[in-house]
Amino acid sequence: MKRVIFAVLLLAACGGRFKAPPAVPNIPLPSGDALRPWDPAHPGLARPLGIAQVGDKAYAALGNYDVSFTPRGPGLLASFVPSDGTVSVIDLGGAADMECISAGWVRSAGSLLYVTCSGNFNTGAGTAVVEVDPSGQGNVTKRFATPVSPAGVAITSNRVWFGSGLSGAVYALDRATFALAAGPITLTCPASGYQTTNDLAFVNG
């Protein structure tokens, strides 16, 4: 079954007659060599999760792992134009394509994107939060190798917050330097059983 991503983006013009072109019904996700597999004979699947918009483009984080959840290539962002289905790929992998594995959540802030990389759960490698400038071909402008597998991400004027995918805790990075600014800050979670901080949101501030 061909995997597709469904795009429904409504863009409203204020006080004018401009009407955004309609989105195409579906957009095929990258596959095979487009996913930049470490071993060309064993490519992964796109595995999209988070999605965000900057300007007239949408960006989907691609986990890039196979049916057994084994990573097969670096974390990626798929950039697409909803009105015509044009797709391109931004490689988040860094050195040896191993510094960002299993891209997951993505948030936009102004003209930049922030992406979590949950890493390889078998080895612990590739956990990170990255800042991406999507202009032109797109590139990673800042990178922080996280001490935990990051899950949700939220952006304030001076902080990048992320949760721990394997505990009830949150961390903060200084947005300018990308150094750790706070955390782990423990949340009130059940004293026993499985704990995770799956998503974060920043409200009224």
Query: pLDDT tens, 30-53?
Result: 999 999 999 999 999 999 999 999
The domains of the chain are located at 4-12+27-186
Return d(Cα 158, Cα 146) in angstroms, integer. Answer: 18
Distance of CA 57 to the CA centre of its chain: 15
Condensed to tens digits (0 to 9), the pLDDT of residues 183-205 reads 888 877 666 665 666 666 555 55
Say if pTM beats, i.e. exceeds, 0.75. yes
Q: What is the CATH number of domain 4-12+27-186?
A: 2.130.10.10
